[in-house]
């Protein structure tokens, strides 16, 4: 039996990663999460019934507790999703991003290194540490697509902190031979995404007959990938990826933010028409852009396709419809968040003096 230690496993991507592997009888999942605003027990409620799933509340920077977990459960793979992730929040409060994504991460990987040193040769050869990162470290791409060796050019405290954790992880590979693999994922969407992000916030605001705010002119270009495809790619990297390597994960489809929102409105128009017979697109409202907003993300996924044969399966049109239907069918989940954690207010608005 293989044991997966999944950190940040009560958040959006992490919890869906656990769902993607938990039904296999030959694995055990140790799920750790500090349950900050974006992670909650309600997100993993369906996972608690599995006997091969163990949830432990802790911060990845908690040296004593992480050391105990590593010693007791002896994971074969460590997949780190734990991070502060929202660009807007990093503008409002960069300190927590530096603390979690760099300082706590350092404590975590340092303990992983010590654990790795004590493994026997066979276990060492099969052990993997996956540090999940983001294509935002490339910054705005003017032409072509970013390759894994393209220049790093971060624009926000969030992307800067993720780039820093990447460099720490790669240094541990080069210095200590820790078998690190770094996936750089493009924009994820899908079920259980915290409703501060563009897609779930747009869906929920539309359902609540509230304005759907779009930054600037809405022409910022992103590459969107369904969370299930993203996690399938990570599983492929655990099994087939080369240690010490970075891999872009994406869907080869670029579209503007305004186009994403208009498509969401169109889906809602078909499924649950408004009482006033108008399109949900009438709720779209353009607001002042956020500082340092990258214009275009675009990453090449040729490397992961070439080395692992992975390809995305869910196209954007179907994925968006699946996502809209999930938020319609799971109102209890996001209404609890709106009641206790986040009411949909704008974040990342800096007033320059």
Would residue 158 show up in a list of annotated catalytic residues for this protein?
yes
Sort 350 into a burial class: Cβ within 10 Å, 0-12 / 13-18 / 19+: exposed
DSSP 82-128: -S---HHHHHH-HHHHHIIIIIIHHHHHHHHHHHHHTS-HHHHHH-E
Q: Are 128 and 181 in contact (CB under 8 A)?
A: yes
**CATH at residue 49:** 3.40.50.720
Q: Are 44 and 55 in contact (CB under 8 A)?
A: yes
Would residue 289 show up in a list of annotated catalytic residues for this protein?
no
Four-CA torsion 319, 10, 133, 170, nearest 10 degrees? -150
In the set 4, 138, 158, 297, the catalytic residue is: 158
What is the pLDDT at residue 51? 97
Would residue 135 show up in a list of annotated catalytic residues for this protein?
yes
45 assigned to some structural domain: yes
What is the pLDDT at residue 252? 87
What is the pLDDT at residue 132? 98
Taking alpha carbons only, the member of 136, 203, 209, 144 closest to residue 166 is 136
pLDDT at 304 over 80: yes
Number of folded domains in the chain?
Answer: 1
Q: Are 33 and 9 in contact (CB under 8 A)?
A: yes
Residues in the chain: 353
Q: State both tokens at 25.
A: 């009888």
310 assigned to some structural domain: yes
Q: Which residue has the higher pLDDT, 327 or 340?
A: 327
Question: Per residue in 157-181, pLDDT tens?
Answer: 999 999 999 999 999 999 999 999 9
pLDDT at 344 over 70: yes
In the set 59, 76, 135, 196, the catalytic residue is: 135
320 assigned to some structural domain: no
Percent of the chain scoring above 90 in pLDDT: 94
- Domain of residue 242 covers 2-192+224-254+292-314
Q: State both tokens at 223.
A: 């590459």
262 assigned to some structural domain: no
pLDDT at 134 over 90: yes
pLDDT at 67 over 60: yes
pLDDT at 142 over 90: yes
Q: What is the mean pLDDT of residues 104-110?
A: 98
pTM, 2 dp:
0.96
Question: Per residue in 75-85, pLDDT tens?
Answer: 999 999 999 99
127 assigned to some structural domain: yes
Angle at 22 (CA atoms; ends 16, 27), nearest 5 degrees: 135
337 assigned to some structural domain: no
80 assigned to some structural domain: yes
What is the pLDDT at residue 343? 84
CA distance 336 to 326: 15
49 assigned to some structural domain: yes
In the set 136, 166, 232, 254, the catalytic residue is: 136
23 Cα distance to chain centroid: 22
């Amino acid at each position: 039996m293989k044991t997966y230690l999944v950190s940040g496993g009560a958040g959006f991507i992490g919890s869906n990663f656990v769902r993607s592997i938990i039904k296999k009888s030959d694995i055990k999942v140790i799920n750790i999460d500090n349950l900050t605003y974006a992670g909650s027990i309600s997100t993993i409620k369906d996972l608690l019934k599995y006997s091969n799933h163990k949830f432990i509340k802790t911060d990845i920077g908690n040296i004593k507790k992480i050391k105990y977990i590593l010693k007791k459960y002896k994971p074969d793979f460590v997949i780190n999703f734990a991070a502060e992730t929202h660009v807007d929040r990093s503008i409002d409060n960069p300190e927590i991003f530096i603390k979690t994504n760099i300082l706590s991460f350092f404590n975590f990987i340092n303990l992983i290194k010590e654990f790795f040193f004590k493994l026997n040769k066979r276990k060492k050869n099969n052990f993997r540490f996956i540090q999940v990162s983001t294509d935002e470290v490339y910054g705005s791409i003017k032409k072509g697509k970013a390759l894994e060796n393209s220049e790093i050019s971060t624009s926000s405290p969030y992307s800067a902190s993720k780039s820093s954790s990447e460099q720490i992880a790669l240094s541990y590979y080069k210095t200590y031979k820790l078998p690190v693999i770094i996936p750089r994922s493009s924009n994820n969407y899908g079920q259980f995404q915290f409703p501060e992000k563009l897609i779930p916030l747009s869906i929920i605001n539309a359902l609540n007959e509230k304005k759907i705010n779009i930054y600037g002119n809405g022409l910022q270009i992103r590459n969107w990938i369904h969370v299930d495809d993203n996690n399938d790619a990570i599983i492929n990297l655990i099994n087939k990826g080369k240690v010490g390597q970075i891999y872009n994960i994406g869907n080869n489809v670029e579209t503007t933010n305004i186009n994403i929102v208009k498509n969401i409105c169109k889906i809602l128009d078909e499924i649950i028409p408004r009482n006033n017979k108008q399109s949900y697109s009438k709720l779209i409202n353009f607001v002042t852009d956020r500082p340092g907003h990258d214009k275009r993300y675009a990453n090449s996924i040729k490397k992961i396709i070439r080395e692992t044969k992975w390809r995305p399966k869910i196209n954007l049109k179907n994925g968006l419809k699946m996502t809209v239907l999930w938020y319609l069918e799971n109102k209890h989940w996001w209404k609890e968040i709106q009641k206790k954690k986040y009411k949909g207010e704008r974040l990342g608005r800096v007033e320059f003096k």
